[in-house]
Amino acid sequence: MQRPQVILNFAMTLDGKVSTARYTPSGFTSPLDKHRLLEIRSLGDALMVGRNTLQIDRMSMGLPDEELRKARVKRGQSEYPIRVVISNSGELDMNLNIFKHRFSPIVIYSTTSMPEHKQTELREKAELNLSTQERVSIEEVLNDLYERYQVRTLVCEGGPQLAQTLAELDAVDELFITVAPILFGGTRAPGLLGASASYLPSSRMYRLESMKIEGDECYLHYLSDREPCTTPTRLS
Ligand SMILES: NC(=O)c1ccc[n+]([C@@H]2O[C@H](COP(=O)([O-])OP(=O)(O)OC[C@H]3O[C@@H](n4cnc5c(N)ncnc54)[C@H](OP(=O)(O)O)[C@@H]3O)[C@@H](O)[C@H]2O)c1
């Protein structure tokens, strides 16, 4: 099955946590890292998140930097990435920030367990792809994004549950990790792949493409050790 190149972007504490045990909003990195997040986001034909991240981080999934948008257009991409949301339950509040902005299509992958009234409301704001299975198949989502939406580069900003599924499918081609100078602690605080006790079906090695230090933060860029589908992403 064909799929886009998948880039995962996360900020992590010194003890490997991406959130607190209470799953509080992200916001523990510097303004520089927040701009770097936009730079990485701007590389994707589409940007994908899970429902909790969308909700907890109040994401509009936009690109509030005109220069980055201009560079996309120059590269032949749309001004803004397509916004992709994953949710089995379909419990998406219409007051979420994402629905207040119309700058790019919103594509939701969910299941028919989404209540009918919610389906009607959401169809006014987004394209709904509802599976009749109990769970959304991320493998099929990736293939659908590739085939139907012509997505060749997909940036995923989490959260950890969604990242875990991508890793289980061995579909993480690149990783951008910001290591932030802070400790959270707590066994229930999620790491990159959540707080689940289960192992991946098999390990995947990555090789370090670049490392940059700014202030007390470290920016890491890793590539999968298999042959890349496309040229590795470059950031300034
Ligand atoms: N540090 C960082 O860079 C970073 C990045 C992202 C998120 N976070 C933090 O991570 C926390 C949220 O973690 P999380 O693991 O709950 O986030 P998440 O993966 O965004 O959300 C989990 C929810 O998304 C849906 N989902 C995820 N994977 C799915 C799959 N494979 N198939 C179908 N649906 C799927 C499900 O929604 P339904 O329940 O609707 O079925 C699931 O309950 C927040 O505190 C957030 O701030 C941190």
pLDDT digits (tens, 9 = 90+) for 71-89: 999 999 999 999 999 999 9
Q: What is the pLDDT of residue 198?
A: 87
128 three-class SS? strand
Q: What is the pLDDT of residue 225?
A: 85
Q: Quickly state the pLDDT bin for 170 (edges 50, 70, 90).
A: very high
Cα of 86 from ligand 1 centre, angstroms: 9
What is the average pLDDT score of the chain?
Answer: 95
Q: What pairing do the DSSP bridges indicate for beta strands 206-214 and 217-224? A: antiparallel
Q: Are 141 and 171 within 8 A, CB to CB?
A: no
Q: Which CATH class is domain 5-224?
A: alpha beta
Q: Are 46 and 149 within 8 A, CB to CB?
A: yes
Q: Whose CA is nearest to atom 14 of ligand 1?
A: 159
pLDDT digits (tens, 9 = 90+) for 90-138: 999 999 999 999 999 999 999 999 999 999 999 999 999 999 999 999 9
Q: Which residues line ligand 1 (CB under 6 A)?
A: 10-11, 18-19, 23-26, 49-53, 56-57, 86-89, 91, 135-136, 138, 157-162, 165, 190, 194
Query: Token digits for 29?
Result: 């990195």
Instruction: Specify the DSSP element, H or E, that contains 194.
Output: none
Q: Are 163 and 194 within 8 A, CB to CB?
A: yes
Atom of ligand 1 nearest to the CA of 26: 47
CA–CA dist 75, 83 (Å, integer): 19
Alpha-carbon dihedral angle through residues 137, 86, 171, 149, given to the nearest 10 degrees: 90
pTM assigned to the model? 0.96
Q: What is the pLDDT of residue 236?
A: 61
85 three-class SS? strand
pLDDT digits (tens, 9 = 90+) for 26-65: 899 999 999 999 999 999 999 999 999 999 999 999 999 9
Atom of ligand 1 nearest to the CA of 137: 32
Instruction: Specify the DSSP element, H or E, that contains 166.
Output: helix 160-168
